[in-house]
Amino acid sequence: MAIVKVTDESFEQDVLKSGPPVLVDFWAEWCGPCKQIAPALEQIALELGDKVTIAKVNIEDSPTTPSRYGVRGIPTLMLFKDCQMASMKVGAMPKAKLLEWLAESGVAADASLPGVASA
C-alpha cells in the first residue's frame, strides 16, 4: 500500500476513522532525519500495507494537527489505533527498530517476508 499524505483537513477521516492502525510520520521538507527514514517507511508500507497504514503529515503545510498532539521535534512517529494515539517515537531510527516498535505495539510483521521479524 502506498503512503498516504494527510493534512489538517483530512486527519480525522484518514487517521482517526481508519479501520487498520495508522503510523503517522510528522515531517518537514527541510528535516534531514525525516528524509533518512522515508525509504524505511516506504518499505514498511509495502510489506505491512494490510496491517498498518503509513501516513505523512507535513508540519509546514498542516501545523494544527502536530500542535494538537504536542509534536515538538521531528520526525515524530505516532501510531494510532481505535481512534487514538497508542504509541509515539521521536527521532529517526532504522527499519528494524521501526518494525520492532510496531510489533511491540501489536502490529505484527509477516514472518514469510525476508528480513522481517515476527513478534
Could you give the residue numbers annotated as active site?
A: 31, 34
Q: In Å, what is the CA distance from 36 to each residue of 6, 54, 112? A: 20, 16, 26
Tell me the DSSP string of the chain: -PPEEE-TTTHIIIIIT-SS-EEEEEE-TT-HHHHHHHHHHHHHHHHSTTT-EEEEEETTT--HHHHHTT--SSSEEEEEETTEEEEEEES---HHHHHHHHHHTT-PPPTTSTT----
